[in-house]
Amino acid sequence: MTEFTPTPADQFTFGLWTVGSIGRDPFGEPTRKPLSAPYIVQRLAELGAYGVNLHDNDLVPIDASAAERDRLVSDFKAALNDHGLKVPMATTNLFTDPAFKDGAFTSADARVRAYALQKTMLSMDLGHELGADVYDFWGGREGTEVDAGGKLLDSLAWFRDSLNFLADYSESQGYNYKFVLEPKPNEPRGDIFFPTAGSMLGFIATLDKPDRFGVNPEFAHDTMAGLNFAHAVAQVIDAGKLFHIDLNDQKMGRFDQDLRFGAENIKTAFFLVKLLEDTHYSGMKHFDAHALRTEDEAGVWAFAKGCMRTYLMLKEKARQFNDDSEIQAALSAYRVEDSELEALSKKFSPENAQALKSRTFDRSALGTRGPGLEHLDQLTIDLILGMR
């Protein structure tokens, strides 16, 4: 069905590390050959993606010579140019190298913290050169397995100092980066600092330049922890901080699976897409997932197409939901409006407080009303399953 074929206007992005995943896991060797960055650019453009994101070391190996770096970057830029793909987001790999085994910005070793700053500044330079305007911080190693080191409060301060430093660096260079902080509860660390979107929002308020920082929530990360991702995203939207989003899927309570978007929790995915579309989210929709380890290269492109197709199908379902008169009637019936009480409750005044205190409520009627959620939810299921 061609109507669910993406175009760059849909603003779908993938990472070099996502479609480029070679299928390694903690128990097994790679099952696929590496794909070159220019080849990934070509294939993603053919599939209708808008852009490709990267960590510094997805493109330039950590020990590359200056000449090698220049060649890799120029081949990549040529491919971007040839195929019209953008690099909207860049980030730093602060988790693979053993130097970061006990944290990067939150390492107890001041030398590691300084090296993390150096590596991030260089990576920000690269991202800027490639046109990125969003810079992501996923603190994969920023955490602990044991707290015997006693660095909990220090880690928060070190992380804050690092982000303040890098925001100032960005400004001093004339970069216009918006920074996004990506929460994850665990994996690879036993406990990662700032495990939820709410923790990130609270932390952002303590930074020197909070306006430059937003959140990059990820479907799998909340789901691993048994949380409802749509609820987390709603809170980030309410705070005006949804600058980027990582879409994928995950079974609750499992290891980090990074499944194809919509592969598992179709109902939450539907309410998420509806939320993004209803609120006119205008940032990138990044699929931070990878093909199953069982797959060959054809499976990788089937995976990438599937992520985008499912998003577009759910977007169409959200449109149908909003246009469905029976669903809209059930929604109206769910809400009880009372303009007088709403006016009294909206804002405190001594008069409003007094009026509410002296009001008589029919508590038993309030407790016996059936809001019709079973009916409404079944209508939603019928719609998602294509029966309406």
Residue numbering of the annotated binding site for Mg(2+): 182, 218, 221, 246, 256, 258, 288
- Residue 317 CA, distance from chain mean position: 22
56, 58, 218, 249: which one binds Mn ion (CB under 5 A): 218
From the list ligand GCO, Mn ion, none, partner contacted by residue 56 (C-beta under 5 to 8 A by kind): none
**What is the Cα–Cα distance from 180 to 324, expressed in whole angstroms?**
36
Q: Please report whether residue 184 would count as binding ligand GCO according to CB under 6 A.
A: yes
Q: Please report whether residue 142 would count as binding ligand GCO according to CB under 6 A.
A: no
List the catalytic residues. Answer: 55, 58
Residue closest to ligand GCO (Cβ): 138
Q: What is the DSSP letter of 260?
A: P
The CB-of-136 to ligand GCO minimum distance in angstroms stands at 4
How large is the C-alpha radius of gyration of the chain?
Answer: 23
φ/ψ (deg, to 5) at 319: -65, -45
From the list Mn ion, ligand GCO, none, partner contacted by residue 102 (C-beta under 5 to 8 A by kind): none
Within positions 227 to 266, which residues make up the interface with Mn ion, using CB under 5 A?
246
Q: Please report whether residue 120 would count as binding ligand GCO according to CB under 6 A.
A: no
Residues 6+ apart with CB under 8 A from 60: 68, 69, 72, 73, 126
The letter for the amino acid at 232 is A
Q: What is the DSSP letter of 282?
A: -
Residue (184 or 241) nearer to ligand GCO, CB: 184
Q: Please report whether residue 182 would count as binding ligand GCO according to CB under 6 A.
A: yes
**What is the Cα–Cα distance from 108 to 114, expressed in whole angstroms?**
11
Within positions 279 to 298, which residues make up the interface with Mn ion, using CB under 5 A?
288
**What is the Cα–Cα distance from 216 to 244, expressed in whole angstroms?**
5
Q: Please report whether residue 249 would count as binding ligand GCO according to CB under 6 A.
A: no
Helix (H, G, I), strand (E, B) or coil at 194: coil
11, 21, 57, 91: which one binds ligand GCO (CB under 6 A): 91
- Could you count the other beta carbons within 10 Å of the beta carbon of residue 257? 18
56, 102, 218, 249: which one binds ligand GCO (CB under 6 A): 218
Query: What number of chain residues touch Mn ion (CB under 5 A)?
Result: 3
CB 202 within 8 A of CB 159: no
**Interface with ligand GCO (CB under 6 A):** 91, 136, 138, 182, 184, 218, 246, 256, 288
